Structure 1
């Protein structure tokens, strides 16, 4: 049995791991690399022949885990794609949105002339809607904690991972040359007591563990709850300063948790009601999927629903549908909160709101998630005084803030605790993925002190298990 880390090796995005048995190849996740340009040249050149992959196992819907699946299918993959039911629904939304992003970027790069309206050869999108639909036809869904035979020698079980609705750790039992072996891929590990989502469940003891390391060496802020944090920010920005609070948030997962938290704040009377705009059509569609799979939200959300109604609706909340309505939000001069995607500011309606507010002294832009290197969000967070938005260089006068109270990743201690559920006497090796080099090293050092064998794998290098 061989393991090769083809993506998210000593970086955060682009998760893609290949598990090879005799005459059977399993690809765990197939994500876009956000730390490179999303071009046909950097994401379609797989280090293997897609036709040789027998099955894809998808841990969750986020695009850095799912976003290159249509390319894999376009280039010849013909097997099944296994995931949980919410992951299938959310992935379709995200992949369709990726098509729109590709088309927009391709359109901007083209110079129109005789071939007006057509893409030139140098600006082709990575994939189109047809390729997404071809990929979705290959999805097969499996419930949590239900062992599933994917071949005569391989059994797969999905363990709830928190992080996002439907997110799972993938646990494999493998018969390899007459010997039973087990390996688990954590996917992205969530955190306890997160709004809407259930806590991650322990992964059963395995021989090998491939774990994310995003927050290795870093701890989340403690001492304030999600509600306390947002009450403090909203009171300062919207009530005392009578200003505008813009929150870049991923449409799927982060927005639903944020809306539920705001619902609790305003419904309990902790603050006067401030107008809230959710400006993302995809967020509305994702919220419908959260309602569809309401049996998988946490007990707090279920209890709120039973006592007060829909946790994703309240009086001062408006879901903005059309682009025309989105532009009207800029003309709303009362204090307000605008939640819009994308969370890293790469595309989406958030760019319009930034364009009109980045030079507004009474605007605060509050980041609630990770921003990969190379993104507009990362440039703002590092303190760039001038940024390029919609073909213009704009000075930054708005206040830039960040909080990790809604980070959907477990921190250093959560990662350590995930490993500590393993049996030291049987766990042969831990492979760290999905983290910056410093985070991986910090987590590796801590685990090594605790007596675990740890490997920080190099990209495209095969490890015999």
Structure 2
């Protein structure tokens, strides 16, 4: 059995791992690498023949795990893509949205005086359709045979609706080995999502390390933080609260929590706008798979009959409606994508409100270096938007209470479920190098054998 780490090695994005068992080739995830953009050679070309892959196993829908599947199909992959039912539907809407992003970038650069034409998209709508046709869905905790010697089981890990760890049981040369890929590990008591479930004992573990060395905030709940922020931004002063949020996952958890707050009359009426067509599509999928949500969310649904719709809330459908939100002069909450302020309708709201003393911008997720969101969080007094220099008069706040990743303690505890005398190696992926080093040191203190693989590095298991 041979494992090759093809992506998310000493970085966060581009998750992709190749497991070769005799002549059978398994690809676990096929994500876009965002470290250097979305049109670089790392996404356009593979270090293997896509036609040689027998099956793809997808841990969850986020684009850094699923976003290059249509390129794989376009370049010759003919096999099945295995995932949970919610992952299949969420991935489809995300991949279609990716095509929109590719085409918009192509059109934008085509209009530039410097370029005669923009870059070709990585894939088109037809390639997404061909990809979706290859999805085969498997529920959690069911053994699924890939062939007579390899069996797959999905274990729920929270993080996102339908997200799973991959457990592969392999019979090889008279021995039975187990290898687990965590995908992205969620956190306990997260809105809507079930807690990550313990992994069975395995021989090898490929683990994410995003929050290695970092701990989430404690001492307050998400509800308390939102009530405090809304009170300050919209009730004590007649202003507006803008929340940049990723359309899939964070927006649904935020809408659900606001629904709880207003339905329990913990705050007076404040208008809420969700301005993201992608979020609206994803919300329908979340509602469809209500049985995948945690017991609290299922109980709330029995009482309220709706997780994501309440009288204070309006979904903004088209661009015209989006622009009209800027003319809403009463206190309000605007939730829009993208979470790091790099494109999307959020930039319109930012443009019209960044110089508003009565506006608060609440970041609920990580903002990578170089992004507009990161520049605001580090305190830049002026930002450039639409070729204009704008003074930052709005109040900037941040919370990590809606982060979908488990923190350092959660990651260590996930590995500690494994007997260090049985677990032969832990491979750390999907994290910045400092995060990997911090997590590695903690695991070594617990007597685990830890490897920080380089990109395209292979290991005989």
TM-score range, shorter chain: over 0.9
- Give 1:157 shift: 0.3
Alignment-derived partner of residue 173 in structure 1: 169
5 Å-filtered alignment, 1:330-409, equals 330-409=326-405
Matched, 1:25 2:25: yes
- Give 1:376 shift: 2.5
Question: Does the residue aligned with 1:102 lie in a helix, a strand or coil?
Answer: helix
Matched, 1:423 2:419: yes
Task: Work out which of the residue numbers 277, 282, 286 in structure 2 matches 1:281.
Answer: 277
Alignment-derived partner of residue 146 in structure 1: 142
- Give 1:452 shift: 0.8
Question: Does the residue aligned with 1:123 lie in a helix, a strand or coil?
Answer: coil
Residues 101 and 347 in structure 1, CA contact (< 8 A), matched pair in contact too = no
Residues 106 and 117 in structure 2, CA contact (< 8 A), matched pair in contact too = no
Alignment-derived partner of residue 256 in structure 2: 260
Distance 1:415 1:185 in 2: 13
1:197-243 deviation per Cα after TM superposition (whole angstroms, max 9, x unaligned): 11110010000001111111111001111100111111111112221
- Give 1:175 shift: 1.9
- 1:77 to 1:148, Cα distance in 2 relative to 1, 3 A: same
Question: Does the residue aligned with 1:443 lie in a helix, a strand or coil?
Answer: helix
- Give 1:112 shift: 7.8
Question: Does the residue aligned with 1:246 lie in a helix, a strand or coil?
Answer: strand
- Give 1:395 shift: 3.2
Distance 2:100 2:351 in 1: 20
- Give 1:350 shift: 1.1
Alignment-derived partner of residue 10 in structure 2: 10
Residues 186 and 196 in structure 2, CA contact (< 8 A), matched pair in contact too = yes
Residues 40 and 124 in structure 1, CA contact (< 8 A), matched pair in contact too = no
1:320-340 deviation per Cα after TM superposition (whole angstroms, max 9, x unaligned): 111110000011111111001
- Stretch deviating more after TM superposition (54-63 or 239-248): 239-248
Distance 2:278 2:426 in 1: 37
Distance 1:18 1:433 in 2: 13
Distance 1:43 1:405 in 2: 32
5 Å-filtered alignment, 1:268-347, equals 268-347=264-343
Alignment-derived partner of residue 116 in structure 1: none
Distance 1:370 1:331 in 2: 29
- Give 1:143 shift: 0.5
Question: Does the residue aligned with 2:206 lie in a helix, a strand or coil?
Answer: strand
Residues 14 and 33 in structure 2, CA contact (< 8 A), matched pair in contact too = yes
Matched, 1:222 2:218: yes
Structure 1 gaps, min length 5: 114-118
Distance 1:460 1:101 in 2: 28
Distance 1:242 1:99 in 2: 39
Distance 1:384 1:67 in 2: 32
Distance 1:168 1:111 in 2: 42
Alignment-derived partner of residue 442 in structure 2: 446
- 1:164 to 1:464, Cα distance in 2 relative to 1, 3 A: same
Task: Work out which of the residue numbers 185, 189, 193 in structure 2 matches 1:193.
Answer: 189
Matched, 1:55 2:55: yes
- Give 1:258 shift: 0.4
1:38-94 deviation per Cα after TM superposition (whole angstroms, max 9, x unaligned): 115441122222122111110000111101111111111111100000000000000
Aligned pair count reads: 460
Distance 1:391 1:432 in 2: 41
Residues 287 and 307 in structure 2, CA contact (< 8 A), matched pair in contact too = no
Residues 87 and 166 in structure 1, CA contact (< 8 A), matched pair in contact too = yes
Distance 1:50 1:380 in 2: 41
- 1:284 to 1:207, Cα distance in 2 relative to 1, 3 A: same
Question: Does the residue aligned with 2:273 lie in a helix, a strand or coil?
Answer: strand
- 1:416 to 1:314, Cα distance in 2 relative to 1, 3 A: same
- Give 1:178 shift: 2.9
Alignment-derived partner of residue 34 in structure 2: 34
- Give 1:123 shift: 1.6
- Give 1:120 shift: 5.9
Structure 2 gaps, min length 5: none
Distance 1:429 1:408 in 2: 26
Distance 1:131 1:146 in 2: 30
Residues 35 and 374 in structure 1, CA contact (< 8 A), matched pair in contact too = no
Task: Work out which of the residue numbers 446, 449, 456 in structure 1 matches 2:452.
Answer: 456
Distance 1:318 1:300 in 2: 24
RMSD: 1.5
1:272-302 deviation per Cα after TM superposition (whole angstroms, max 9, x unaligned): 1111000011111111111111111111111
Distance 1:74 1:388 in 2: 38
- Give 1:271 shift: 1.2
Residues 243 and 335 in structure 1, CA contact (< 8 A), matched pair in contact too = yes
Residues 40 and 125 in structure 1, CA contact (< 8 A), matched pair in contact too = no
- Give 1:121 shift: 5.8
Residues 55 and 79 in structure 1, CA contact (< 8 A), matched pair in contact too = yes
TM normalised by structure 2 equals: 0.97
